[in-house]
A and B are shown apart, each in its own frame.
Chain A
Amino acid sequence: MKKRSLSFYLLAAFFGLFVLFLYGPMIAIFMLSLQGPDGNLTFPMRGFSVYWLGQVFQEQRVGSFTDAFQRSLVLGLAVLLLSVIVSVLAGLAFRARFRGATFLFYLTISSLIVPSVLVSLGIGIAFQVLGLETNWFSSGLGAHLTWTVPFAFLIVLGVFNRFNPSYEEAARDLGATDTRTFWEIVLPLIAPSLVGIGLLAFTLSYDEFTRTSLISGQNNTLPLEIFGMTTNVTSPALYALGTLTTLFSFTLIILAFVGFQVFSKRQQQ
């Protein structure tokens, strides 16, 4: 072990400041959402209670938060499933050489390079020209996939790059069909990574704003609902909602982490 140099301490201090910059504001709204009923939008804290957390579940002036939450939940799960299926299938395809592979690769990457507002506007215009109605579960779903699938695909490529094909070959030598090899050998081996991809796809969708903003149709997803509230709601209920959705995200991360551990353990046995 090397002696710790001055640069270590300087960088460690910088890192500490950075973490404070990342989390400081979030901690501020956590605290402010735990104020008493006469709480305000700024410090100092006035009292201490869970009053505002409860207020979130009351009917808000700008529509209902629980409906928007349910929509975002359903949409996130749909995006999760579709992203995992689509990217794993494409990842399997990329293990062989096929014509158009480079095209599909760049097509996928380009989805990350196109500014989000274009995707939203484009899908909005396409639906309008085709005479279709925009909705969070149709146009919104498509917009979310253009954001989640590229990330999922890149991870799947990385996973298959490190994948040891000898297990599959063994299964095939023993007479297993392709489908059977996939379900019994490949899928269990890549399962821990799929948990990660699923979490990524879900949270990207659950928090997505720009790509959905113009094409969610009549009913808002949760981020759109919260955005609407920023102009109308001037009570700590806004912070309380922020606290709750953030806690929800944290819970998901922990669940996914536990899931990852469980799958990895099972694999080692």
Chain B
Amino acid sequence: MYKSWKTVQPYILALPQTLVFLLFLIFPILMILLVSFWEFNGYTMVPGFTLSNYTDIFTSDVYLRTYLNTFKYVILVWFFCLAIAFPVAYFLAFHIQNQKLQIILFLICTVPFWTSNIIRMISWIPVLGKEGLINSTLMSLNLIQQPIEWLLYSDFAVVLGMVHLFNFFMIAPIFNSLMRIDRNLITAAEDMGASGWQILREIILPLAAPGIAIGSIFIVTLVMGEFVTVRLMGGGQSASVGKLIQTQIGSLQYPLAAANAVVLLIVTLILVSGILRVVDIRKEL
């Protein structure tokens, strides 16, 4: 009796979590897949089997341009998040010796992540707007005569907003891998006469790679499906796959939105597996 309870126990304990994801992740995705082959009769979705939702996507210019624009966001946001996160994490991990100060500074980087994304985006309005801080400062210094229009409601603002929102997802994993680096390795390299640059390139970067990869996966998946930032910070012509899907749902075209979502999921998974192929992250998990 006791023996059999011991073997069953882990399954019972793991059951709630399995159910959560089967019900709210796997089942919905299967439904998306199913509905993506359904038809749309002008006001509701109708069960059936058609490939027209997919042929629409693969033959239309609009979709191609939207995907290219989304990739542009992904690459820019990824690049700037990495360019910010690595020096910040490096500074925290290697230049702050006092552990208490290190924790406090790391918390300072994470606190905004605990607050509302929408509010964080709205906060850019008084800074970037036409009469915002940047424009009025530049005007009063006589550096510009006209307010710069592209600061807000533009692709620039979208990328800035996403970098602002998502950099934490890059900082945390990189900081984590940097903290795990055995400090003796660096001392040894120094003793052997390696320069600071050599240490960074030969020791720190390779050991930080898994952290960078995890951060990159987060950035890619967050930006690929993003539509709130594009909505709030982008101008009318800023397009992303997420926004497209949301617009289609707005007009109740569920089958088309579902087909789009399937393509989005496949593209995202290809990008993620590409990252995983370059860097082995299993040690970090």
Residues of B within 8 A of A43 (CB): 126, 131-133, 136
Per the bound structure, the CA–CA distance linking A126 and B25 in Å amounts to 10
Interface contact B265-A18, CB-CB below 8 Å: no
Q: Is the CB of A26 within 8 A of B112?
A: yes
Which residues of A20-52 have CB atoms within 8 Å of chain B's CB atoms? 21-26, 28-29, 32, 41-43
- A12–B221 Cα distance when bound, in Å, is 31
- Whether the pair A113, B269 counts as a contact (CB closer than 8 A) is yes
B254 & A117 in contact (Cβ 8 Å cutoff): no
Given contacts A129-B31, A245-B119, contact A116 B225 (CB under 8 A): yes
A233 to chain B minimum Cβ distance, whole angstroms, is 10
Contact A41 B125 (CB under 8 A): yes
* B131 x A42 contact (CB < 8 A): yes
- For residue A132, CB closer than 8 A to chain B, the reply is no
Interface residue stretch chosen among B6-14, B52-60, B61-69, B201-209: B6-14
Task: Confirm or deny: B272 has a beta carbon within 8 angstroms of a beta carbon on chain A.
Answer: yes
Q: Does A249 contact B (CB under 8 A)?
A: yes
- B48 interfacial contact with A, CB 8 Å: no
Per-position 1/0 for A1-33, Cβ under 8 A of B = 100000110011011001101111110110010
Which residues of B from 110 to 156 have beta carbons under 8 Å from A? 111-112, 114-120, 122-127, 129, 131-133, 136
Q: Does B258 contact A (CB under 8 A)?
A: yes
- B residues near A98, Cβ cutoff 8 Å: 10-11, 14
Assess the B272–A113 pair: CB atoms within 8 A. yes
Q: How many interface residues does B have (CB within 8 Å)?
A: 81
Are A153 and B126 closer than 8 Å at their CB atoms?
Answer: no
For B124, what are the chain A residues with a Cβ–Cβ distance below 8 Å?
Answer: 25
Which B residues lie within 8 Å of A101 (CB)? 10, 14
> Chain A contacts of B109 at CB under 8 A?
18-19, 22
Residues B29 and A122 in contact, CB atoms below 8 Å apart? yes
Residues of A contacting B265 in the complex (Cβ-Cβ under 8 angstroms): 114-115, 118
Tally the A-B contacts, defined by beta carbons under 8 Å. 253
**Does B232 lie at the interface of the complex (its beta carbon under 8 Å from any beta carbon of A)?**
yes
Shortest distance from the beta carbon of B218 to any chain A beta carbon, whole Å = 7
Cα-based distance from A128 to B28 in the complex (angstroms): 11
Contact B228 A209 (CB under 8 A): yes
* A11 CB, nearest partner CB in chain B, Å: 4
Q: Does B82 contact A (CB under 8 A)?
A: no
Query: Which chain B residue has the least Cβ–Cβ distance from A241?
Result: B119
**What is the minimal beta-carbon distance from B209 to any residue of chain A, in angstroms?**
19
Asked if A242 and B25 sit within 8 Å, CB to CB, the answer is: no
Classify the secondary structure of A's interface with B.
helix
CB distance from B100 to the nearest CB of A (A): 13
Q: For chain A, which range describes its interface: under 10, 10 to 19, 20 to 34, or 35 or more residues?
A: 35 or more
Known A85-B16, A126-B31; contact A115-B221, beta-carbon cutoff 8 A: yes
Judge whether A181 is part of the interface by a CB distance below 8 angstroms: no
Pair A142/B122 contact, Cβ less than 8 Å: no
Minimum CB distance partner of A227 in chain B: B118
State the CA gap A252–B109 with chains docked (Å). 17
Interface residues of B in 81-101 (CB under 8 A from A): 84, 87-88, 90-92, 95, 97
Is B11 a contact of A93 with CB atoms below 8 Å?
yes
A56 close to B (CB within 8 Å):
no
Q: Which residue of B lies closest to A257 (CB)?
A: B107
- The smallest beta-carbon distance between B196 and chain A, in angstroms, is 7
Q: Which of A57-65, A102-110, A261-269 contacts B (4 or more CB under 8 A)?
A: A102-110
Say whether B264 faces chain A, with CB atoms less than 8 Å apart: yes
Q: A142-B20, A222-B116 are in contact. List 17 more A-B contacts (CB 8 A).
A: A15-B105, A26-B115, A28-B123, A29-B122, A32-B126, A98-B10, A98-B11, A100-B14, A107-B18, A115-B224, A115-B225, A118-B29, A118-B261, A121-B249, A209-B228, A238-B122, A245-B115
Listed from nearest, the 6 A-B pairs whose CB atoms lie closest are: A115-B225, A122-B28, A25-B123, A93-B13, A98-B10, A142-B24
Q: Which residues of A contact B (CB under 8 A)?
A: 1, 7-8, 11-12, 14-15, 18-19, 21-26, 28-29, 32, 41-43, 85-87, 89-90, 92-94, 96-98, 100-101, 104, 107-119, 121-126, 128-129, 142-143, 145-146, 149, 153, 178, 199, 203, 206-207, 209-210, 213-214, 222-223, 226-227, 230, 238-239, 241-242, 245-246, 249-250, 252-253
